[in-house]
Structure 1
């Protein structure tokens, strides 16, 4: 399996996910922005906005290549002269605070010295945490993982708990999910099997999201709940700009800024020293996110 085939399959995955998300939203349609990278490659960024479900969302495909810059060697600790990277990245911000933010990405990276790996993950960021809904989400992820290796879910769930955290807040970003990086033959699966795992996760994404969205999209919303949603979006921004590896890789590799930052919400808020009542739903959510949880 060569890198060109992987890139083609990831592009097809992007289109599949967009078609399903248009069905799930029911009103909004994706628009596409094609872009080129001066050093080599480019991508297709597809965005959706002001739908019946999705206020702002993006499904980005990229396929970039070229010399490994000194900045990439230093910041990303790469040992090679040329690289190739391709992947699909998704973030959806709903317009109802009772529907969670969701993120997913799958990616492939290759160096000219023969080193390659797959990475990716999916996580859920509810504005209001409901434990039973988090369990449903994790069950779906375990089902996908178990098709390939029954040890994957536990490993990748722990990895996600560590990765999707906001250390300066002493909180998790949400209810976690799975995260993996540098997957290669050391994980007992060959290159094609690892690729199929990434595709399977991607193809499962819209149906996992639909299940979560249907649990909250028709709930009534108050002005206070909308403001709380914007506070929670602020936490999301903090993580993506300070800690997210994908954001850092995109910026350090000379990627397209607009596509890299499509994950940011349309509106977010910060209030100095904001502390909700600990017995309120907002306070309970913050308490929940400061603790470690086992879902399965």
Structure 2
């Protein structure tokens, strides 16, 4: 595992040199731009809530890091606010090597081929967040969206790449408030319908199985040249956070 190096400021890209210079249209480059934009938008939305609460304008603290072999990340943390006890919004872009056992576990549909695999280089990028409000009647919110891609196994050059996009979002309420649960679900459903009518099937099964106000959205097998699907799902979280905290504070009971 490479040691992480703190940086005074985030670099323009965390991609390795040859990938960074290959153009902005690759799936890796597009997804990195997407998660960094989402991080900025979510942080701005949460800071606006703090500013509007009259709490003195608490803002996020940023830490950036890189690795010598390529990759890095940006961690942003807000704490001690009037509305939020603590909130973190992080992005990471990493490279590594999967051992054969991990590769086989990740590919149960191709066990025969996976048995022959040697170490497998991989690329992963994602954005994640956990938001803890001070008010116990406001639920904790979490989301995580990621893109994962493997290269050909080292002992099988020329083999096709494997890829996956996935993620989810959920609430963890201390007190079950039915109207807040319905609002959470309705914002997600509305955003999916508004962005893409074909995406609604991704969320319906999770809505039907949700319990205690928690709902997960998982998406996999999204083709590498259609990162637009990732954009849809990530924008769901941005829209949901803005609506939950900026337009629905009347549903959060005062202490």
Q: Determine if the TM-score, normalized by the shorter chain, exceeds 0.5.
A: yes
- Aligned partner of residue 20 in structure 1, secondary structure: helix
Q: Distance in 1 between matches of 2:93 and 2:214?
A: 27
Which residue number in structure 1 is paired with residue 150 of structure 2? 111
Asked whether the 8 Å contact 1:103–1:123 carries over to 2, the reply is yes
More displaced 10-residue stretch of structure 1: 46-55 or 36-45: 36-45
Does the C-alpha gap of structure 1 residues 181 and 192 become closer, same or farther in structure 2, counting only changes over 3 Å?
A: closer
Q: Deviations 1:183-234 (Å, cap 9, x if unpaired)?
A: 424xxx97133122123223314213315861355612xxxxxxxxxxxxxx
Q: Distance in 2 between matches of 1:152 and 1:142?
A: 10
- Aligned partner of residue 220 in structure 2, secondary structure: strand
Larger Rg: 2
Asked whether the 8 Å contact 1:124–1:176 carries over to 2, the reply is yes
Match of 1:181 among 198, 214, 219: 219
Q: Deviations 1:17-70 (Å, cap 9, x if unpaired)?
A: 111110012231100111234664111010010101110110000111122235
TM-score normalised per structure 1: 0.62
Gapped regions of structure 2 (runs ≥ 5): 1-24, 52-56, 109-113, 152-159
Match of 1:198 among 221, 230, 233: 233
Count of aligned pairs: 205
Pairing 1:113-262 to 2, within 5 Å after superposition? 113-146=160-193, 147-148=195-196, 149=198, 150-157=200-207, 161=210, 174-185=212-223, 191-210=226-245, 214-215=249-250, 219-220=254-255
Aligned-residue CA RMSD (Å): 2.7
Which residue number in structure 2 is paired with residue 292 of structure 1? none
* 1:68 partnered with 2:111: no
- Aligned partner of residue 217 in structure 2, secondary structure: strand
Q: Distance in 1 between matches of 2:247 and 2:69?
A: 40
Which residue number in structure 2 is paired with residue 260 of structure 1? none
Gapped regions of structure 1 (runs ≥ 5): 162-171, 221-296
* 1:99 partnered with 2:138: yes
Q: Deviations 1:90-132 (Å, cap 9, x if unpaired)?
A: 1011111011100112111111132222111111111100111
Would you tell me which structure has more helix in proportion to its own residues? Answer: 1
Does the C-alpha gap of structure 1 residues 67 and 40 become closer, same or farther in structure 2, counting only changes over 3 Å?
A: farther
Which residue number in structure 2 is paired with residue 293 of structure 1? none
Asked whether the 8 Å contact 1:99–1:213 carries over to 2, the reply is no
Q: Distance in 2 between matches of 1:122 and 1:56?
A: 18
Asked whether the 8 Å contact 1:100–1:213 carries over to 2, the reply is no
Pairing 1:271-286 to 2, within 5 Å after superposition? none
Which residue number in structure 1 is paired with residue 15 of structure 2? none
Asked whether the 8 Å contact 2:74–2:92 carries over to 1, the reply is yes
